[in-house]
Chains A and B, each alone.
Chain A
Amino acid sequence: MQQGGGSDTEVTWEDQQNINKFGRLNNRFHELEDEIKIAKETNENLEDASNELILTDEEVIRFQIGEVFAHVPKDEVENRIEQMKEVTSKKLGTLEEEKEAVLAQMAELKKILYGKFKDSINLEEE
Protein backbone atom coordinates (compact mmCIF):
# COMPACT_ATOMS: atom_id res chain seq x y z
CA MET A 1 0.00 0.00 0.00
CA GLN A 2 1.55 3.29 -0.95
CA GLN A 3 0.54 6.93 -0.71
CA GLY A 4 0.92 9.03 -3.85
CA GLY A 5 0.15 12.39 -5.40
CA GLY A 6 0.35 15.88 -3.90
CA SER A 7 -3.14 16.57 -2.69
CA ASP A 8 -4.46 19.09 -0.22
CA THR A 9 -6.71 16.70 1.67
CA GLU A 10 -5.87 16.65 5.34
CA VAL A 11 -5.32 13.32 7.07
CA THR A 12 -7.20 13.12 10.36
CA TRP A 13 -6.46 10.72 13.21
CA GLU A 14 -9.57 8.78 12.21
CA ASP A 15 -8.23 8.42 8.66
CA GLN A 16 -4.89 7.24 10.06
CA GLN A 17 -6.66 4.66 12.19
CA ASN A 18 -8.58 3.45 9.14
CA ILE A 19 -5.35 3.14 7.16
CA ASN A 20 -3.73 1.24 10.05
CA LYS A 21 -6.73 -1.08 10.27
CA PHE A 22 -6.59 -1.74 6.55
CA GLY A 23 -2.89 -2.63 6.86
CA ARG A 24 -3.61 -5.06 9.70
CA LEU A 25 -6.47 -6.69 7.80
CA ASN A 26 -4.30 -7.07 4.72
CA ASN A 27 -1.59 -8.81 6.75
CA ARG A 28 -4.15 -11.09 8.37
CA PHE A 29 -5.57 -11.88 4.93
CA HIS A 30 -2.19 -13.12 3.68
CA GLU A 31 -1.61 -15.14 6.84
CA LEU A 32 -5.06 -16.73 6.42
CA GLU A 33 -4.32 -17.63 2.80
CA ASP A 34 -1.16 -19.45 3.91
CA GLU A 35 -2.97 -21.22 6.75
CA ILE A 36 -5.79 -22.28 4.43
CA LYS A 37 -3.27 -23.70 1.98
CA ILE A 38 -1.64 -25.77 4.73
CA ALA A 39 -5.01 -26.98 6.05
CA LYS A 40 -6.07 -28.06 2.53
CA GLU A 41 -2.82 -30.00 2.09
CA THR A 42 -3.30 -31.73 5.45
CA ASN A 43 -6.83 -32.67 4.42
CA GLU A 44 -5.57 -34.16 1.17
CA ASN A 45 -2.88 -36.14 2.98
CA LEU A 46 -5.45 -37.56 5.38
CA GLU A 47 -7.67 -38.50 2.42
CA ASP A 48 -4.77 -40.30 0.75
CA ALA A 49 -4.00 -42.05 4.03
CA SER A 50 -7.54 -43.38 4.43
CA ASN A 51 -7.57 -44.55 0.83
CA GLU A 52 -4.32 -46.45 1.39
CA LEU A 53 -5.85 -47.98 4.50
CA ILE A 54 -8.76 -49.38 2.52
CA LEU A 55 -6.39 -50.90 -0.03
CA THR A 56 -3.98 -52.48 2.42
CA ASP A 57 -4.47 -55.96 3.85
CA GLU A 58 -2.16 -55.62 6.80
CA GLU A 59 -3.70 -55.78 10.22
CA VAL A 60 -1.18 -53.61 12.03
CA ILE A 61 -0.33 -50.16 10.74
CA ARG A 62 2.62 -48.04 11.76
CA PHE A 63 0.93 -44.82 12.86
CA GLN A 64 3.05 -41.75 13.53
CA ILE A 65 2.75 -40.38 17.04
CA GLY A 66 5.24 -37.60 17.69
CA GLU A 67 8.59 -38.75 16.35
CA VAL A 68 7.98 -42.52 16.43
CA PHE A 69 5.75 -44.90 14.49
CA ALA A 70 3.63 -46.95 16.87
CA HIS A 71 2.16 -50.31 15.81
CA VAL A 72 -1.58 -49.74 15.92
CA PRO A 73 -4.39 -52.07 14.81
CA LYS A 74 -6.09 -51.09 11.58
CA ASP A 75 -9.47 -50.23 13.16
CA GLU A 76 -7.97 -47.84 15.65
CA VAL A 77 -5.98 -46.17 12.86
CA GLU A 78 -9.19 -45.71 10.86
CA ASN A 79 -10.86 -44.04 13.82
CA ARG A 80 -7.90 -41.77 14.46
CA ILE A 81 -7.75 -40.69 10.83
CA GLU A 82 -11.49 -39.97 10.81
CA GLN A 83 -11.07 -37.83 13.91
CA MET A 84 -8.13 -35.94 12.43
CA LYS A 85 -10.09 -35.36 9.22
CA GLU A 86 -12.99 -33.89 11.19
CA VAL A 87 -10.72 -31.56 13.14
CA THR A 88 -9.00 -30.36 9.98
CA SER A 89 -12.27 -29.82 8.08
CA LYS A 90 -13.68 -27.77 10.93
CA LYS A 91 -10.48 -25.74 11.11
CA LEU A 92 -10.60 -25.17 7.34
CA GLY A 93 -14.23 -24.00 7.62
CA THR A 94 -13.38 -21.49 10.38
CA LEU A 95 -10.41 -20.16 8.41
CA GLU A 96 -12.47 -19.68 5.24
CA GLU A 97 -15.14 -17.85 7.26
CA GLU A 98 -12.57 -15.55 8.80
CA LYS A 99 -11.13 -14.88 5.35
CA GLU A 100 -14.55 -13.82 4.03
CA ALA A 101 -15.06 -11.52 7.03
CA VAL A 102 -11.63 -9.93 6.55
CA LEU A 103 -12.27 -9.37 2.81
CA ALA A 104 -15.63 -7.75 3.58
CA GLN A 105 -14.07 -5.38 6.12
CA MET A 106 -11.29 -4.50 3.68
CA ALA A 107 -13.87 -3.68 0.98
CA GLU A 108 -15.70 -1.37 3.43
CA LEU A 109 -12.49 0.44 4.36
CA LYS A 110 -11.51 0.77 0.70
CA LYS A 111 -14.82 2.51 0.01
CA ILE A 112 -14.31 4.96 2.87
CA LEU A 113 -10.65 5.70 2.11
CA TYR A 114 -11.03 5.98 -1.67
CA GLY A 115 -14.08 8.17 -1.02
CA LYS A 116 -12.01 10.68 0.91
CA PHE A 117 -8.62 10.44 -0.80
CA LYS A 118 -9.52 9.28 -4.33
CA ASP A 119 -6.25 9.16 -6.27
CA SER A 120 -3.98 10.14 -3.40
CA ILE A 121 -4.11 6.67 -1.92
CA ASN A 122 -3.37 3.26 -3.35
CA LEU A 123 -4.80 0.24 -1.56
CA GLU A 124 -4.13 -2.42 -4.17
CA GLU A 125 -1.63 -5.26 -4.02
CA GLU A 126 1.75 -4.41 -5.51
Chain B
Amino acid sequence: MASSSTASSSASGMTERRGIPGAQFVEDVQTYLTQSGFDVNSALAFLQERLQQYKLVEMKLLAQQRDLQAKIPDIEKCLDIVASLQAKKGTGEALIADFEVSESIYSQARIEETDSVCLWLGANVMLEYSCDEANALLKKNLDNAKASLEVLIADLQFLRDQVTITQVTMARVYNWDVHQRRMRQATASTAQD
Protein backbone atom coordinates (compact mmCIF):
# COMPACT_ATOMS: atom_id res chain seq x y z
CA MET B 1 0.00 0.00 0.00
CA ALA B 2 1.36 3.44 -0.86
CA SER B 3 2.29 5.33 2.24
CA SER B 4 2.36 8.83 0.86
CA SER B 5 -0.66 11.04 0.71
CA THR B 6 -0.63 14.02 -1.60
CA ALA B 7 -2.97 16.94 -1.53
CA SER B 8 -4.06 18.08 -4.98
CA SER B 9 -4.44 21.70 -5.91
CA SER B 10 -7.71 23.63 -5.89
CA ALA B 11 -10.56 22.42 -3.75
CA SER B 12 -10.69 18.70 -4.39
CA GLY B 13 -8.76 17.73 -1.26
CA MET B 14 -6.62 14.61 -0.77
CA THR B 15 -6.19 12.40 -3.80
CA GLU B 16 -5.47 9.30 -1.77
CA ARG B 17 -4.52 8.20 1.71
CA ARG B 18 -2.62 5.03 2.56
CA GLY B 19 -3.88 3.19 -0.47
CA ILE B 20 -7.47 4.44 -0.28
CA PRO B 21 -8.27 6.35 -3.50
CA GLY B 22 -9.82 9.73 -2.87
CA ALA B 23 -13.19 10.56 -4.40
CA GLN B 24 -12.87 13.40 -6.86
CA PHE B 25 -15.22 16.26 -6.07
CA VAL B 26 -17.27 17.26 -9.09
CA GLU B 27 -17.64 21.02 -9.50
CA ASP B 28 -20.09 20.79 -12.37
CA VAL B 29 -21.89 17.64 -13.55
CA GLN B 30 -21.96 18.63 -17.24
CA THR B 31 -18.20 19.24 -17.35
CA TYR B 32 -17.54 16.03 -15.45
CA LEU B 33 -19.53 13.94 -17.93
CA THR B 34 -17.97 15.53 -21.02
CA GLN B 35 -14.42 15.34 -19.61
CA SER B 36 -14.67 11.72 -18.53
CA GLY B 37 -16.53 10.72 -21.68
CA PHE B 38 -19.06 8.82 -19.57
CA ASP B 39 -22.73 8.77 -20.32
CA VAL B 40 -25.04 8.92 -17.32
CA ASN B 41 -25.41 5.17 -16.82
CA SER B 42 -21.71 4.37 -17.04
CA ALA B 43 -20.91 7.24 -14.68
CA LEU B 44 -23.40 5.87 -12.17
CA ALA B 45 -22.00 2.34 -12.61
CA PHE B 46 -18.45 3.58 -12.09
CA LEU B 47 -19.42 5.48 -8.94
CA GLN B 48 -21.37 2.49 -7.62
CA GLU B 49 -18.33 0.25 -8.11
CA ARG B 50 -16.18 2.79 -6.24
CA LEU B 51 -18.70 2.69 -3.41
CA GLN B 52 -18.42 -1.12 -3.19
CA GLN B 53 -14.64 -0.88 -3.02
CA TYR B 54 -14.91 1.65 -0.21
CA LYS B 55 -17.28 -0.66 1.68
CA LEU B 56 -14.76 -3.52 1.47
CA VAL B 57 -11.97 -1.37 2.83
CA GLU B 58 -14.29 -0.11 5.58
CA MET B 59 -15.02 -3.69 6.73
CA LYS B 60 -11.30 -4.42 6.91
CA LEU B 61 -10.52 -1.27 8.88
CA LEU B 62 -13.42 -1.86 11.28
CA ALA B 63 -12.13 -5.38 12.00
CA GLN B 64 -8.66 -3.99 12.71
CA GLN B 65 -10.19 -1.36 14.97
CA ARG B 66 -12.08 -4.01 16.96
CA ASP B 67 -8.86 -6.01 17.44
CA LEU B 68 -6.98 -2.99 18.72
CA GLN B 69 -9.82 -1.97 20.99
CA ALA B 70 -9.74 -5.44 22.56
CA LYS B 71 -5.95 -5.42 22.90
CA ILE B 72 -5.73 -2.15 24.83
CA PRO B 73 -7.67 -3.23 27.98
CA ASP B 74 -5.61 -6.47 28.00
CA ILE B 75 -2.36 -4.53 28.18
CA GLU B 76 -3.82 -2.28 30.88
CA LYS B 77 -4.76 -5.35 32.96
CA CYS B 78 -1.16 -6.63 32.71
CA LEU B 79 0.15 -3.26 33.85
CA ASP B 80 -2.24 -3.46 36.82
CA ILE B 81 -0.87 -6.83 37.91
CA VAL B 82 2.76 -5.74 37.62
CA ALA B 83 1.92 -2.64 39.66
CA SER B 84 0.26 -4.78 42.37
CA LEU B 85 3.28 -7.08 42.53
CA GLN B 86 5.58 -4.08 42.87
CA ALA B 87 3.38 -2.64 45.62
CA LYS B 88 3.60 -5.88 47.58
CA LYS B 89 7.37 -5.97 47.29
CA GLY B 90 8.07 -3.62 50.18
CA THR B 91 5.69 -5.26 52.67
CA GLY B 92 7.19 -8.74 52.95
CA GLU B 93 3.76 -10.31 52.51
CA ALA B 94 2.92 -12.75 49.81
CA LEU B 95 0.11 -12.00 47.40
CA ILE B 96 -2.65 -14.57 47.62
CA ALA B 97 -4.82 -14.82 44.54
CA ASP B 98 -7.59 -17.03 43.19
CA PHE B 99 -7.08 -17.93 39.58
CA GLU B 100 -9.10 -19.86 37.05
CA VAL B 101 -7.87 -23.40 36.43
CA SER B 102 -10.74 -24.27 34.16
CA GLU B 103 -14.26 -23.02 33.54
CA SER B 104 -15.83 -22.26 36.96
CA ILE B 105 -12.93 -23.97 38.76
CA TYR B 106 -10.59 -21.76 40.72
CA SER B 107 -7.52 -22.47 42.77
CA GLN B 108 -5.52 -20.42 45.19
CA ALA B 109 -1.99 -19.27 44.48
CA ARG B 110 0.56 -17.79 46.82
CA ILE B 111 2.86 -15.36 45.03
CA GLU B 112 5.97 -14.61 47.06
CA GLU B 113 7.92 -11.41 46.74
CA THR B 114 9.62 -11.34 43.41
CA ASP B 115 11.71 -9.02 41.30
CA SER B 116 10.77 -10.51 37.99
CA VAL B 117 7.72 -11.40 35.97
CA CYS B 118 7.24 -13.46 32.85
CA LEU B 119 5.49 -11.85 29.91
CA TRP B 120 3.69 -13.79 27.18
CA LEU B 121 4.96 -12.39 23.90
CA GLY B 122 2.80 -14.52 21.62
CA ALA B 123 3.82 -17.36 19.27
CA ASN B 124 4.32 -19.68 22.27
CA VAL B 125 7.10 -17.49 23.62
CA MET B 126 7.32 -16.27 27.19
CA LEU B 127 10.21 -14.17 28.49
CA GLU B 128 11.24 -13.25 32.02
CA TYR B 129 11.66 -9.56 32.76
CA SER B 130 12.43 -7.53 35.83
CA CYS B 131 9.42 -5.60 37.11
CA ASP B 132 10.80 -2.32 35.78
CA GLU B 133 11.61 -3.74 32.36
CA ALA B 134 8.17 -5.35 32.23
CA ASN B 135 6.54 -2.02 33.04
CA ALA B 136 8.54 -0.29 30.32
CA LEU B 137 7.72 -2.96 27.72
CA LEU B 138 4.01 -3.01 28.55
CA LYS B 139 3.86 0.79 28.53
CA LYS B 140 5.53 0.88 25.12
CA ASN B 141 3.09 -1.69 23.73
CA LEU B 142 0.18 0.29 25.14
CA ASP B 143 1.42 3.54 23.56
CA ASN B 144 1.96 1.83 20.20
CA ALA B 145 -1.52 0.30 20.28
CA LYS B 146 -3.12 3.65 21.12
CA ALA B 147 -1.16 5.43 18.36
CA SER B 148 -2.16 2.76 15.80
CA LEU B 149 -5.77 3.12 16.88
CA GLU B 150 -5.66 6.87 16.31
CA VAL B 151 -4.25 6.47 12.81
CA LEU B 152 -6.88 3.83 12.08
CA ILE B 153 -9.70 6.10 13.25
CA ALA B 154 -8.37 8.92 11.04
CA ASP B 155 -8.27 6.48 8.08
CA LEU B 156 -11.88 5.50 8.74
CA GLN B 157 -12.95 9.15 8.86
CA PHE B 158 -11.21 9.84 5.56
CA LEU B 159 -12.88 6.77 4.06
CA ARG B 160 -16.34 7.78 5.24
CA ASP B 161 -15.85 11.25 3.76
CA GLN B 162 -14.99 9.69 0.39
CA VAL B 163 -18.11 7.52 0.63
CA THR B 164 -20.25 10.61 1.31
CA ILE B 165 -18.69 12.52 -1.59
CA THR B 166 -19.33 9.57 -3.93
CA GLN B 167 -22.95 9.23 -2.79
CA VAL B 168 -23.57 12.96 -3.28
CA THR B 169 -21.96 12.84 -6.73
CA MET B 170 -24.19 9.91 -7.69
CA ALA B 171 -27.29 11.80 -6.57
CA ARG B 172 -26.21 14.91 -8.52
CA VAL B 173 -25.51 12.94 -11.72
CA TYR B 174 -28.91 11.27 -11.41
CA ASN B 175 -30.69 14.56 -10.73
CA TRP B 176 -28.88 16.19 -13.64
CA ASP B 177 -30.09 13.41 -15.89
CA VAL B 178 -33.69 13.80 -14.67
CA HIS B 179 -33.39 17.55 -15.25
CA GLN B 180 -32.04 17.00 -18.81
CA ARG B 181 -34.89 14.62 -19.67
CA ARG B 182 -37.47 17.10 -18.40
CA MET B 183 -35.94 19.90 -20.46
CA ARG B 184 -35.84 17.69 -23.55
CA GLN B 185 -39.50 16.77 -23.06
CA ALA B 186 -40.37 20.43 -22.56
CA THR B 187 -38.59 21.51 -25.79
CA ALA B 188 -40.07 18.51 -27.65
CA SER B 189 -43.62 19.39 -26.59
CA THR B 190 -43.21 23.11 -27.42
CA ALA B 191 -41.80 22.13 -30.82
CA GLN B 192 -44.93 20.07 -31.46
CA ASP B 193 -47.34 22.90 -30.66
Contact = CB atoms under 8 A, between A and B. Distances in A.
A6 interface: yes
B164 A13 contact: no
Interface residues of A, number: 24
B168 A68 contact: no
Contacts of B175: 5-7
A70 B161 contact: no
16 contacts: A3-B168, A3-B172, A7-B175, A11-B172, A13-B27, A20-B165, A23-B161, A27-B160, A65-B77, A66-B81, A67-B100, A68-B81, A69-B98, A69-B99, A69-B106, A71-B96
B98 A24 contact: no
Interface string B156-169: 01001100110110
Interface of A: 3-8, 10-13, 16, 19-20, 23-24, 27, 62, 65-71
Given A66-B80, A69-B99, A71-B96, A11 B157 contact: no
A66 to B, nearest CB: 4
A62 B160 contact: no
Nearest to B181: A6
B119 interface: no
Contacts of B81: 65-66, 68
Contacts of A20: 160-161, 164-165
Interface of B: 11-12, 25, 27-28, 77-78, 80-81, 84, 95-100, 106, 109, 157, 160-161, 164-165, 167-168, 171-172, 175, 178-179, 182
Contacts of B157: 24
A70 B178 contact: no
Nearest to B88: A70
Given A69-B106, A70-B95, A23 B80 contact: no
B3 to A, nearest CB: 24
A64 to B, nearest CB: 9
A6 to B, nearest CB: 4
Contacts of A23: 160-161, 164
A45 B27 CA distance: 54
A6 B179 CA distance: 7
**Shortest beta-carbon contacts, A-B, top 4:** A3-B171, A66-B77, A13-B11, A71-B96
Contacts of B11: 13
Given A13-B25, A66-B81, 13 more contacts: A3-B167, A11-B172, A16-B25, A20-B161, A24-B161, A65-B77, A67-B77, A68-B109, A69-B97, A70-B84, A70-B95, A70-B97, A71-B96
B171 A65 contact: no
Contacts of B165: 16, 20
A6 B77 contact: no
Contacts of B168: 3, 11, 16, 19
Looking at A24, A27, A66, A67, the one whose CB has the most chain B CB atoms below 10 A away is A66
Contacts of B161: 20, 23-24
Contacts of B160: 20, 23-24, 27
